[in-house]
Amino acid sequence: MALVTFSNPEYKDKTVYAVAGSHTETLLKLAKEHKIPVHHDCQDGECGNCLVRVTSVDNKARMGYHLTEKEQTVLRHLGKLTKDQIDQLAVDDMPSEWRLACQMIVRDEDILVEY
């Protein structure tokens, strides 16, 4: 069970439980289930509207994650990651703090999501 805290300056923070490990539950799906207004449009990793910043809530090292080509392209286009940064994340097996909520699968870790 993971705790996901959604945070936005315009709304009260909301922490929800996520059943991690289904390999299908995206962050955007979780947000929608809990009526958290994360912006979105295509829901297919192409428009970049669902950009979020994801960090650890307890300073624990986050789980590594390899971004898909599609997500890498959008994050680069948005100016959030450079090619070098993406390559370094892969080498170090580290997750990106910038993610597309519609592409991020919730895992068994407690995270803070700024949207």
Quick one: 60 or 66, whose CB is closer to ligand FES?
Answer: 66
Residue 7 Cβ, how far from ligand FES at the closest point, in Å?
18
Quick one: 58 or 69, whose CB is closer to ligand FES?
Answer: 69
Task: Retrieve residue 82's tokens.
Answer: 């450079």
Residue 58 Cβ, how far from ligand FES at the closest point, in Å?
27
Residue 25 Cβ, how far from ligand FES at the closest point, in Å?
15
For binding to ligand FES (CB under 6 A), which residues are involved? 40-43, 45-50, 100, 102
- Find, among 104, 105, 102, 51, the residue nearest to 78 by Cα: 51
Burial call 84-110: b when 16+ CB within 10 Å, e when fewer: eebeebeeeeebbebbbbbbbebbebb
Query: Distance (Å, rounded) from C-alpha 104 to C-alpha 30?
Result: 10
Quick one: 18 or 100, whose CB is closer to ligand FES?
Answer: 100
